[in-house]
């Protein structure tokens, strides 16, 4: 099956795909193209996702423009029923230089203005060639400064049934979720919601030593993307509620997207 050349958020497959326009009518997009043609993606909004079908031993190329001085974060979403031997194998810069290989995630500084190309394919040293569908998520933007307040915990009455991520804009919202873990020797970090907002990632209760770590916080147009990874360690004799808490200046306000990077398991607690 061939790769395809489309604009914006394409869906790549065999034959014609029907899409529904804003007026409700169906539009047909021809997705048949030369297997060597790149998928052209518009990242001016800071985000795009691409549905792809890849044949065995087929390389997929995705091209996009960048104004420079920003960060790219790419993430592959594969079916859960198999290992899926596919990765970001290479990035080609506007001047023709290349870098790679990478894994199912890529975080890369786009320092130069121009067109970049991402190549995706198998690792020929690991597993069977991949033949099937997957999704590529791409996020881009300039780095956003942030702080990580300390001295707080997730309240016991916060719904523990599933992890969630949220944006918190006021002290009242914050106090409905977090309590203060003040001690004789330390006080929680102060948060000024008149000039800041908070981003929280809250996990489900667990007896496994777990912490979340920021990989990237980037912004473009009206989208802010938080990329984090989960680091786990040994089983504990008690239950914790892992969370990640950031505060950001309101001049960077926008829609929040949260992406979990591939996990890294540690042999011992940190």
**pLDDT at residue 216 tops 90:** yes
Query: Do residues 135 and 77 touch, judged by C-beta distance below 8 A?
Result: yes
In angstroms, the CA 248 to CA 196 distance is: 5
In angstroms, the CA 194 to CA 176 distance is: 18
Q: What is the pLDDT of residues 44-79, one digit of tens each?
A: 999 999 998 888 778 899 999 999 999 999 999 887
- C-alpha closest to that of 53 among 19, 3, 15, 17: 3
Domain extent listing, the chain: 16-142, 152-265
Q: What is the pLDDT of residues 136-146, one digit of tens each?
A: 999 999 999 99
In angstroms, the CA 114 to CA 198 distance is: 34
In angstroms, the CA 133 to CA 165 distance is: 27
Q: Does domain 16-142 have CATH number 3.90.870.30?
A: no
Report the percent of the chain where pLDDT is more than 70: 79
Length of the chain: 270
What's residue 35's pLDDT? Answer: 55
| pLDDT tier for residue 21 given thresholds of 50, 70 and 90 | very low
Tokens of 152: 């707080």
pTM higher than the cut 0.85: no
């Amino acid at each position: 099956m061939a790769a395809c050349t489309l604009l914006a958020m394409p869906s790549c497959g065999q034959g014609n795909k029907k899409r529904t326009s804003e007026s409700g009518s169906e539009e047909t997009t021809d997705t048949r193209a030369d297997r060597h043609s790149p998928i052209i993606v518009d990242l001016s909004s800071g985000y795009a996702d691409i549905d792809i079908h890849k044949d065995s031993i087929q390389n997929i190329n995705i091209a996009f423009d960048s104004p420079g001085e920003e960060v790219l974060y790419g993430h592959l979403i594969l079916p859960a029923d198999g290992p899926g031997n596919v990765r970001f194998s290479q990035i080609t810069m506007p001047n023709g230089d290349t870098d790679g290989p990478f894994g199912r995630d890529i975080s890369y500084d786009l320092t130069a203005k121009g067109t970049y190309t991402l190549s995706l394919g198998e690792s020929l040293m690991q597993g069977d060639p991949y033949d099937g569908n997957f999704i590529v998520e791409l996020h881009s933007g300039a780095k956003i400064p942030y702080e990580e307040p300390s001295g707080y915990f997730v309240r016991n009455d916060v719904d523990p049934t599933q992890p969630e991520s949220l944006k918190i804009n006021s002290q009242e919202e914050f106090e409905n979720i977090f309590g203060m873990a003040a001690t004789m020797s330390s006080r929680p970090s102060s948060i000024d919601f008149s000039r800041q907002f908070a981003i929280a990632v809250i996990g489900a209760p667990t007896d496994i030593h777990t912490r979340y770590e920021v990989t990237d916080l980037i912004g473009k147009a009206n989208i802010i993307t938080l990329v984090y990874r989960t680091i786990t360690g040994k089983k504990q004799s008690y239950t914790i509620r892992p969370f990640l808490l950031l505060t950001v200046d309101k001049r960077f306000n926008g829609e929040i997207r949260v992406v979990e990077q591939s996990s890294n398991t540690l042999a011992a607690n940190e």
